[in-house]
Amino acid sequence: MAVQISPSILSADFARLADEAAAVPNADWLHVDVMDNHFVPNLTLGLPVVEALLKATSLPLDCHLMIEDPDRWAPLYAELGAGSVTIHAEASRAPVRTLRQIRSFGARAALALNPGTAVEPYEGLLGEIDMLLLMTVEPGFGGQEFLDMVLPKIRIARALVERYGGEIWIQVDGGVTTDTIARCAEAGADVFVAGSAVYGSADRAAAVEELRVKAATA
Protein backbone atom coordinates (compact mmCIF):
# COMPACT_ATOMS: atom_id res chain seq x y z
CA MET A 1 0.00 0.00 0.00
CA ALA A 2 1.03 3.63 -0.32
CA VAL A 3 3.05 5.36 2.39
CA GLN A 4 0.95 7.25 4.94
CA ILE A 5 2.23 10.03 7.19
CA SER A 6 0.51 10.82 10.49
CA PRO A 7 2.00 13.94 12.14
CA SER A 8 1.74 13.84 15.92
CA ILE A 9 0.34 16.92 17.60
CA LEU A 10 2.17 15.88 20.76
CA SER A 11 5.02 17.97 19.33
CA ALA A 12 2.75 20.82 18.19
CA ASP A 13 1.90 24.06 19.96
CA PHE A 14 -1.05 23.07 22.18
CA ALA A 15 -2.23 26.69 22.29
CA ARG A 16 -2.64 26.70 18.48
CA LEU A 17 -3.84 23.20 17.65
CA ALA A 18 -6.25 24.28 14.90
CA ASP A 19 -3.45 26.20 13.16
CA GLU A 20 -1.03 23.33 13.65
CA ALA A 21 -3.52 20.92 12.08
CA ALA A 22 -3.95 23.29 9.13
CA ALA A 23 -0.16 23.40 8.67
CA VAL A 24 -0.09 19.77 7.44
CA PRO A 25 -2.77 19.64 4.72
CA ASN A 26 -0.77 17.02 2.81
CA ALA A 27 -0.76 14.56 5.73
CA ASP A 28 -2.90 11.43 5.64
CA TRP A 29 -3.85 11.52 9.31
CA LEU A 30 -3.45 13.71 12.36
CA HIS A 31 -2.04 11.63 15.20
CA VAL A 32 -3.49 12.43 18.63
CA ASP A 33 -1.68 11.00 21.66
CA VAL A 34 -4.05 10.58 24.59
CA MET A 35 -2.10 10.05 27.84
CA ASP A 36 -3.50 9.73 31.36
CA ASN A 37 -0.42 9.94 33.63
CA HIS A 38 -1.12 6.37 34.75
CA PHE A 39 -0.36 4.00 31.88
CA VAL A 40 2.40 6.42 30.87
CA PRO A 41 4.06 9.14 32.98
CA ASN A 42 2.57 12.07 31.08
CA LEU A 43 -0.78 13.84 30.84
CA THR A 44 -1.95 15.28 27.53
CA LEU A 45 -5.52 15.61 26.30
CA GLY A 46 -8.78 13.75 26.00
CA LEU A 47 -12.26 13.64 24.52
CA PRO A 48 -13.05 17.40 24.67
CA VAL A 49 -9.93 18.34 22.70
CA VAL A 50 -10.53 15.57 20.18
CA GLU A 51 -14.09 16.84 19.72
CA ALA A 52 -12.76 20.36 19.09
CA LEU A 53 -10.13 19.10 16.64
CA LEU A 54 -12.76 17.21 14.66
CA LYS A 55 -14.48 20.53 14.05
CA ALA A 56 -11.22 22.31 13.17
CA THR A 57 -9.70 19.95 10.59
CA SER A 58 -10.77 17.78 7.69
CA LEU A 59 -7.90 15.36 8.36
CA PRO A 60 -9.03 12.09 9.92
CA LEU A 61 -7.87 11.74 13.52
CA ASP A 62 -5.61 8.85 14.45
CA CYS A 63 -6.22 8.57 18.21
CA HIS A 64 -3.58 6.63 20.12
CA LEU A 65 -4.80 5.84 23.63
CA MET A 66 -1.93 5.43 26.08
CA ILE A 67 -4.27 5.06 29.02
CA GLU A 68 -5.48 2.65 31.67
CA ASP A 69 -8.87 1.08 31.02
CA PRO A 70 -9.00 1.63 27.23
CA ASP A 71 -11.87 -0.84 27.17
CA ARG A 72 -14.03 1.83 28.78
CA TRP A 73 -12.83 4.87 26.83
CA ALA A 74 -11.82 3.73 23.35
CA PRO A 75 -15.36 3.26 21.96
CA LEU A 76 -16.17 6.85 22.96
CA TYR A 77 -13.42 8.20 20.70
CA ALA A 78 -14.76 6.12 17.82
CA GLU A 79 -18.32 7.24 18.51
CA LEU A 80 -17.15 10.86 18.57
CA GLY A 81 -15.81 10.53 15.04
CA ALA A 82 -12.14 9.54 15.21
CA GLY A 83 -11.04 7.80 12.03
CA SER A 84 -8.78 5.35 13.84
CA VAL A 85 -8.55 4.37 17.51
CA THR A 86 -5.57 2.49 18.94
CA ILE A 87 -5.53 0.62 22.24
CA HIS A 88 -2.50 -0.87 23.95
CA ALA A 89 -2.31 -4.63 24.32
CA GLU A 90 -0.61 -4.10 27.68
CA ALA A 91 -3.58 -2.13 29.02
CA SER A 92 -6.65 -3.84 27.55
CA ARG A 93 -8.39 -6.60 29.47
CA ALA A 94 -10.98 -7.29 26.77
CA PRO A 95 -9.27 -6.45 23.47
CA VAL A 96 -11.59 -8.41 21.20
CA ARG A 97 -14.72 -6.76 22.58
CA THR A 98 -13.12 -3.31 22.55
CA LEU A 99 -11.72 -3.59 19.03
CA ARG A 100 -15.11 -4.74 17.77
CA GLN A 101 -16.83 -1.83 19.50
CA ILE A 102 -14.41 0.59 17.83
CA ARG A 103 -15.24 -0.89 14.43
CA SER A 104 -18.96 -0.79 15.17
CA PHE A 105 -18.79 3.02 15.16
CA GLY A 106 -17.10 3.04 11.75
CA ALA A 107 -13.55 3.70 12.93
CA ARG A 108 -10.47 1.66 12.15
CA ALA A 109 -9.40 -0.47 15.12
CA ALA A 110 -5.72 -0.72 16.00
CA LEU A 111 -3.60 -2.55 18.55
CA ALA A 112 -0.36 -1.06 19.90
CA LEU A 113 2.61 -2.91 21.34
CA ASN A 114 5.39 -1.41 23.46
CA PRO A 115 9.01 -2.00 22.37
CA GLY A 116 9.48 -4.87 24.82
CA THR A 117 6.21 -6.64 23.93
CA ALA A 118 6.54 -9.51 21.47
CA VAL A 119 4.21 -9.49 18.48
CA GLU A 120 3.78 -13.25 18.01
CA PRO A 121 1.34 -13.79 20.95
CA TYR A 122 -1.10 -11.40 19.28
CA GLU A 123 -1.26 -13.14 15.92
CA GLY A 124 -4.71 -14.43 16.89
CA LEU A 125 -6.03 -10.86 17.04
CA LEU A 126 -5.13 -9.97 13.45
CA GLY A 127 -8.69 -10.62 12.37
CA GLU A 128 -9.91 -7.98 14.82
CA ILE A 129 -7.65 -5.12 13.75
CA ASP A 130 -7.11 -2.79 10.83
CA MET A 131 -3.69 -1.63 12.01
CA LEU A 132 -0.86 -2.84 14.23
CA LEU A 133 1.14 -0.07 15.92
CA LEU A 134 4.68 -0.95 16.96
CA MET A 135 6.16 1.60 19.33
CA THR A 136 9.73 2.47 18.38
CA VAL A 137 10.30 4.33 21.66
CA GLU A 138 8.95 3.76 25.15
CA PRO A 139 5.54 5.48 25.17
CA GLY A 140 4.94 8.66 27.12
CA PHE A 141 7.07 11.44 25.70
CA GLY A 142 7.93 12.89 22.31
CA GLY A 143 11.44 13.56 21.07
CA GLN A 144 12.95 10.23 22.12
CA GLU A 145 15.65 8.44 20.16
CA PHE A 146 14.52 5.68 17.79
CA LEU A 147 15.05 2.12 19.08
CA ASP A 148 16.66 -0.03 16.38
CA MET A 149 15.81 -3.12 18.41
CA VAL A 150 12.23 -2.83 17.10
CA LEU A 151 13.22 -3.30 13.44
CA PRO A 152 13.27 -7.13 13.64
CA LYS A 153 9.81 -6.99 15.25
CA ILE A 154 8.51 -4.93 12.32
CA ARG A 155 9.77 -7.65 9.97
CA ILE A 156 8.08 -10.33 12.06
CA ALA A 157 4.84 -8.35 12.06
CA ARG A 158 4.98 -7.90 8.29
CA ALA A 159 5.47 -11.65 7.81
CA LEU A 160 2.53 -12.42 10.12
CA VAL A 161 0.27 -9.94 8.33
CA GLU A 162 1.19 -11.30 4.91
CA ARG A 163 0.55 -14.84 6.09
CA TYR A 164 -2.82 -13.82 7.50
CA GLY A 165 -3.85 -11.92 4.38
CA GLY A 166 -6.17 -8.97 4.15
CA GLU A 167 -5.14 -5.34 4.48
CA ILE A 168 -3.68 -4.64 7.89
CA TRP A 169 -1.49 -1.56 8.15
CA ILE A 170 1.72 -1.57 10.19
CA GLN A 171 2.36 1.73 11.92
CA VAL A 172 5.49 2.89 13.72
CA ASP A 173 5.57 5.65 16.31
CA GLY A 174 8.58 7.19 18.03
CA GLY A 175 11.81 8.70 16.80
CA VAL A 176 10.64 8.66 13.17
CA THR A 177 12.77 11.13 11.22
CA THR A 178 14.24 11.48 7.74
CA ASP A 179 17.15 9.39 9.07
CA THR A 180 15.08 6.49 10.44
CA ILE A 181 11.95 6.31 8.30
CA ALA A 182 13.63 4.42 5.46
CA ARG A 183 14.74 1.65 7.84
CA CYS A 184 11.17 1.30 9.09
CA ALA A 185 9.80 1.18 5.54
CA GLU A 186 12.36 -1.43 4.49
CA ALA A 187 11.38 -3.55 7.50
CA GLY A 188 7.72 -3.48 6.47
CA ALA A 189 6.02 -0.45 8.01
CA ASP A 190 3.67 1.63 5.87
CA VAL A 191 2.16 4.20 8.29
CA PHE A 192 4.54 6.58 10.02
CA VAL A 193 3.89 8.80 13.04
CA ALA A 194 6.26 11.76 13.16
CA GLY A 195 6.17 14.44 15.82
CA SER A 196 9.34 16.49 16.18
CA ALA A 197 10.36 15.74 12.60
CA VAL A 198 7.26 17.61 11.41
CA TYR A 199 6.40 20.13 14.11
CA GLY A 200 10.04 20.94 14.78
CA SER A 201 10.31 22.17 11.21
CA ALA A 202 9.52 25.72 10.10
CA ASP A 203 7.67 24.31 7.07
CA ARG A 204 5.48 21.50 8.37
CA ALA A 205 4.01 20.55 4.99
CA ALA A 206 7.49 20.31 3.43
CA ALA A 207 8.60 18.08 6.30
CA VAL A 208 5.65 15.75 5.67
CA GLU A 209 6.52 15.52 1.99
CA GLU A 210 10.20 14.84 2.70
CA LEU A 211 9.28 12.00 5.04
CA ARG A 212 6.88 10.55 2.46
CA VAL A 213 9.54 10.57 -0.25
CA LYS A 214 12.16 8.98 2.03
CA ALA A 215 9.79 6.15 2.93
CA ALA A 216 8.46 5.64 -0.58
CA THR A 217 11.93 5.34 -2.07
CA ALA A 218 13.32 3.06 0.65
3-state secondary structure of 154: helix
User: Would residue 173 show up in a list of annotated catalytic residues for this protein?
Assistant: yes
User: Would residue 33 show up in a list of annotated catalytic residues for this protein?
Assistant: yes
Q: Which among 28, 62, 130, 173 is annotated as catalytic? A: 173
Q: Which among 33, 36, 130, 190 is annotated as catalytic? A: 33
Nearest to residue 186, comparing CAs of 218, 211, 163, 208?
218
Q: CA 74 to CA 55: how far, in whole Å?
A: 19
Nearest to residue 129, comparing CAs of 164, 172, 79?
164
Distances (CA, A) of 73 to 109, 120, 161: 13, 26, 27
Catalytic residue numbers?
Answer: 33, 173
